[in-house]
């Protein structure tokens, strides 16, 4: 089965697992998904992830993070979609929930959060927003 938006599929799997109260979620592996999960782990939105292999296919087992019974990720949404790409310069990077959330960007220096992009003075494609 091929996906037209693999990153959107991963975000939907995470969103659905949080709504069901799951502690882990399995998603197919790719380099971009791994970089986005690295940023989510750095910023403290997930506990971490590990690479697993099931039936010859590689996947990521993502450990979701909960605090006092509530998920740390309240909202996770895709911004730049295959049909409409969204780019932002360093000056026009949006703030998510007045700085309580993050935007994840794909920049020439790699995939990073909006705070790291401001520090590195680079803009790029806004992949998703997490709060």
Q: Is residue 41 part of a domain?
A: yes
Per the CB < 8 A criterion, the answer to whether 107 and 113 are in contact is no
Per the CB < 8 A criterion, the answer to whether 71 and 18 are in contact is yes
The tokens of 31 are what? 């380099």
pTM of the model: 0.95
The CATH number linked to 40 is 3.30.1490.10
The domain containing residue 46 runs over which residues? 6-130
Task: Give residue 94's pLDDT.
Answer: 86
**Over its length of 131 residues, how does the chain's per-residue pLDDT go in tens digits?**
457 999 999 999 999 999 999 999 999 999 999 999 999 999 999 999 999 998 999 999 999 999 999 999 999 999 999 999 999 999 999 899 998 999 999 999 999 999 999 999 999 999 999 99
Phi, psi of 104 (to 5 degrees): -105, 125
Task: Give residue 16's pLDDT.
Answer: 97
Q: Count how many domains the chain has.
A: 1
Q: Is residue 80 part of a domain?
A: yes
Q: Is residue 28 part of a domain?
A: yes
Q: Is residue 44 part of a domain?
A: yes
Q: Is residue 1 part of a domain?
A: no
Task: Give residue 3's pLDDT.
Answer: 73
């Amino acid at each position: 089965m091929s996906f037209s938006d693999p990153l959107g599929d991963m975000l939907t799997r995470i969103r659905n697992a949080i709504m069901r109260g799951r502690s882990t979620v399995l998603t197919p592996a790719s380099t971009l998904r791994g970089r986005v999960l690295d940023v989510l782990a750095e910023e403290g939105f997930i506990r971490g992830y590990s690479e697993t292999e099931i039936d010859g296919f590689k996947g990521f087992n993502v450990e979701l993070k909960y605090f006092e019974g509530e998920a740390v990720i309240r909202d996770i949404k895709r911004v730049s979609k295959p049909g409409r790409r969204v780019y932002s310069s360093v000056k026009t990077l949006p703030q998510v929930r007045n700085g309580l959330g993050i935007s994840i960007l794909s920049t020439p220096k790699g995939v990073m959060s909006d705070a790291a992009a401001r520090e590195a003075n680079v803009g790029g494609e806004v992949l998703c927003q997490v709060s």
